[in-house]
Structure 1
Amino acid sequence: MTRYLVFIAIFTLGACKSPEARYPVTQKSGSHISESIVKNQELLDKEINLIEGVMNEDSTSEYQSSQDGFWYTYNKKSEDTANTITPEFGDIVEFDYSISTLDGQVIYAEGEKATKTYAIDQEQLFSGLRQGVKLMKEGETVTFLFPSYKAYGYYGDKNKIGTNWPIKTKVTLNKITEKEEIQNQQ
């Protein structure tokens, strides 16, 4: 009988013990993140070299670097001094565009995708094109060179554009409808 009492006493005291934190069997050092950073920097450097090669080969165009991490050149620039409007948040723009590889192989020809109607910063559009359209005036045509992280990135477009493809995009901005004009129509 005393054995049972001793066993119950030990069991009871053991059951009152506060829970202890469980630690993982293996611990990660964070080296995966460091490796990923190095890999992505190498990819970006490679893409920038490709883009610089395209710009150097195209002696007829003067490319500009954007603050957003891509390059562009005007194929047709608006010479109209009264035309100073560029799209802003909430404006609706209509544009046509084509997409090709940096070496000029057509991925989507102009007209293959219907004229795009886009509400600035309110709809899905890949980040480089979303930022690039904001630099344009009505009637202008611009060629953009986007590194993959400004284009379709790691996933591609799940159709014709693969993983981490830098691209060349030619855009013609047909029309800008300003936000105030839209509100007045409603």
Structure 2
Amino acid sequence: MIATPTQIPDVLLLQPKVFPDERGFLFESFNQQKFLETTGIKSHFVQDNHSFSHRNVLRGLHYQIHRPQGKLVRVCSGKILDVAVDIRKSSPTLGKWVSSELSAENKYQLWIPPGFAHGFVVLSETAEVLYKTTEYYVPEYNRCIIWNDQDLSIDWHLSAAPILSAKDQVGERFTDAEIFD
């Protein structure tokens, strides 16, 4: 596994070692020991989530204000643009965002540590996204920053208007959102 820091060094793009042959391929999507050795991050994942979405579905920007979740995101079918926004008050990159294309083809994964809002948009006809979390989902702690916040100015690479949930349509502005101390 190769870990490459993004423009926000705490967010890492991970490239697993893939073993292709005439039958297809094999790769370890997660190995606790190799994750620690490669990233130095002592993670303990407690939940796996799996979502299926159609082209232009945009999910986010989500986070938990208490019991924040670290996320290890990958795509097993299709392609997405995955986005992480730093919402840590004491961070020099507060309000900055990074994005990476994750796909079944490139097999990249994105490590998003606690203290970040997370979202993605589907760039292919459909996509299945798998992600591990370091904390359980707690609905009463869940928060949402509006996907098109003018202060963040995220380039979502949209080819049409996004398809949003009711919750994502009414997310808070970044300047009004509860963020981490």
> TM-score, normalised on structure 2?
0.28
The structure that has the greater radius of gyration is 1
Higher share in strand: 2
> TM-score, normalised on structure 1?
0.28
